[in-house]
Structure 1
């Protein structure tokens, strides 16, 4: 195999591949990227046996072929090469080495046989549809902060993507929760997604997917089966196993009778929470919210380090309320708001609180209170 490829193109392809590779590997071939060259294209494939990414890039192919080489090492080399460099990758198929040349730089890297590289079996997909990159990014970006990191509740270690009944009919919905907070995000149901099974997309896959969704208007092909999900752009295909488990009935957690309504400028609120939480070294320190007519007082009482209090002008016309929340959870939820105002709906100091963006019900968040 012998190819020449522009440095920026190669870096983008290898960066996507090496991020899938697990750093601590007991199977040497899984630390490698499979490079395949044919026609005028080179493809770079990496896998951890749960996720597989294939990135296709234009290249001048002088001799077709394939080999595998350490993904992290190749990425580091390409990253350190000068901008605009033309990189030559040569594998003679005999020496077990891949030569990387660019200008006066020359590297010789150990390879492993391409036959040893595991390729993820293709699945029969029960639903295939396309969606705008911006739509998918919103669904996953706004829900991923609530993914649980608790390994014992493995079925919460991802985003539950499914078809649901919304206020405006059938919707494509993403839900994540860790038991303390919950995010439920809706989008219009794309044509072809009606028969999609409900699946749990793993946390790592959600992180890798984010790299495919830069161009808001790009069309992303999505294929779903009971066991796998595949996202495809013109250049990149990301295939992932889904979490084998049942996502709990999240609808029971979303309060329906919360009537006490607080409307506040989202950015002002987030900044004020961040400021008062500064006095506490504990990330989980409760922030107390005291609500009175058109007035909100945020306070933190940290006996070891001090107290803090800040007052905000808000829209609130219900009876007086005192309620506490984990400062980190409040900040994460407030940071999801794209519109000017955040609306909080309370019932009592011991019940879950609902938060949304203005009157938009396509993004709903729930956070459990803390005792203060």
Structure 2
């Protein structure tokens, strides 16, 4: 099946993006420690090159097929990686189906997450090819990258692998996830707890250029005090559109709206232009425009080349959060991603 491309087939344009992206990324890396978590915790590029040479190709093939059939999966798989890493590290704990006590998957903040069936399909194939070798945590990280990169001629970022899987999953731990209603200071604190800075906060928030949000996360901005008083940080025209899709009644709470109504399935960075125009969907999006340092970064990342480079750097940092590896002698390789 032929891959769609946001580049409209203009290979020269993508080569220019890649070249300038490398320049920008090089500049980011040169800034002090580049903000990467202090030491490499035992991850490496192409970790499975000898133990399971087909691992990354298998993930890419299955992910691409699934996203081609259902473009909404790109946002869900990207969110799956975020929500896994922010809760006790990138250890695939979000995949576990343990029920006593309640697991992460069942927690309210994970209602916007999906793509579990894609991870299952990949794991099933890899267990046939290389049994007991590839971790579910690495599959999540690779699938997130491949789901987003599907619309591009090549991968948007490199993924370090070598993670191992954690043994537990607790809904009570999901309080570590940043809230859709969080103000700027709360967002900064949430990211700082994970070793991420303001630059990472703004870059990773760019994930909201694809995917959907529940009406329940939007209506507090539309009906303040149970009236139609709209959040003054939200564009009134957008608010009117959202009210038509998210009425002020409980029955609409499970409905969804596009995070980026302009290009909901394209990873194109219009998120930042939306922020400038008070069209960020969530209160946590609008919060980025309430801090001078964050606004400077937002303005910078309206340049798609700079956005892709910054996003790549911050994804690498996030992918290192509290990982379990052979280096720290923690974790295991699950035979099934849903079972401990």
TM-score, normalization by structure 2: 0.31
Give the structure with the higher percent strand. Answer: 1
The structure with the larger Rg is 1
Higher RCO by CA contacts (8 Å cutoff, separation 6 or greater)? 2
TM-score, normalization by structure 1: 0.29
Give the structure with the higher percent helix. Answer: 2
